[in-house]
Amino acid sequence: MKRVALIAGATGVLGRAVCRELYAHGTRVACGYATRHQEAETLAAELSGFAVELHPGVDLAETMRTVTGHHGGLDILVNAAGVNHEGSAAALGSEEWRSVLDINLDFAFRLTQAALPPMLRRHYGRIIHLSSIAGRVGGRGQINYAVSKAGIERMARVFALEVGRKGITVNCVAPGVIVSDMTARIRAEYGEALLSHIACHRFGKPEEVAKAVAFLAGEDAGYINGIVLPVDGGMGI
């Protein structure tokens, strides 16, 4: 049976790689997008899936009905949606604080809740949130982002505790410094310093994160629950 996955943040660098990897594993994909509709449509067409609007402003129960209506159910949720507004902790405005927490944490929570009914119906589910190394070590100028990622890891663990008995696992993948637009500034400013803390001595590729996600999304990962899987080349070990 082909599994069905909904990917939030599918048009981002990591989301896109996850969609392609899951598709390569024989999964039907629904590509969730916030604003980049056309990109999502193009990606969905490439992967024989479909695009679905997915952000804090949509009715998530309706989104789940749309996905299950298209594909007959929902087995996998990957939350790759996230934003980052940098600023020093001492000066960060409440709007910059709130906007990151709203998407990276509140939305992740409501999205996870909304995915449970269709997964319960099948007595099976794989939920994977993309966290970040920032959730473990923090980072200058990233207090909102780091807090949101630390929160998502604890949130995933509590969900895992509560829904594991129903055949639903909830895990996180925590990328280190992956080559993407989001890390362009720190790679440019601190490239060598960062590399000196990474055992593999290189930055990661989106596809490497996607393979970890696909592993946790697979049926064979049914006894892995509530973990944070770092994909960071051995950063800070």
Partner 1 sequence: MTEHELFEGVCECIRQTLEKDLPEIYESDRLIADLGADSLDFLDLIFRLEERFNVHVNPRDLERRTQQALGDTPMIVNERYTEAAVVEFRKAMPEVPEGELFSDMPVNKLPGTFRVKTFMNLVAYVLGQEKVP
What distance in Å separates the CA atoms of residue 232 and residue 137, rounded to the nearest whole number?
Answer: 12
Q: Which of residues 68-127 bind partner 1 (CB under 8 A)?
A: 116-117, 120-121, 123
Q: Which of residues 144-173 bind partner 1 (CB under 8 A)?
A: 162-163, 165-166
Q: Which residues make beta-bridge pairs with 169?
A: 126
Query: Helices marked H in 8-142 — which ranges?
Result: 13-24, 37-46, 60-71, 94-101, 107-122, 134-137
Beta-strand pair 125-130/76-79: parallel
145 catalytic per annotation: yes
Q: Is the CB of 122 or the CB of 136 nearer to partner 1?
A: 122
SS3 assignment for 114-139: HHHHHHHHHCCEEEEEECCCHHHHCC
Q: Is the CB of 166 or the CB of 187 nearer to partner 1?
A: 166
Q: Is the CB of 123 or the CB of 181 nearer to partner 1?
A: 123
Sequence-distant (≥ 6) Cβ neighbours of residue 45 within 8 angstroms: none
Q: How far is the CB of 179 from partner 1 (least distance, A)?
A: 40
Catalytic choice (23, 33, 124, 145) = 145
Q: Which of 213, 203, 171, 184 is nearest to 20 (CA)?
A: 213
Q: Do residues 102 and 85 lie in contact, with contact meaning Cβ atoms separated by under 8 Å?
A: no
Q: Is the CB of 11 or the CB of 68 nearer to partner 1?
A: 68
For partner 1, the binding residues (CB under 8 A) are 116-117, 120-121, 123, 162-163, 165-166
Residues designated catalytic: 145
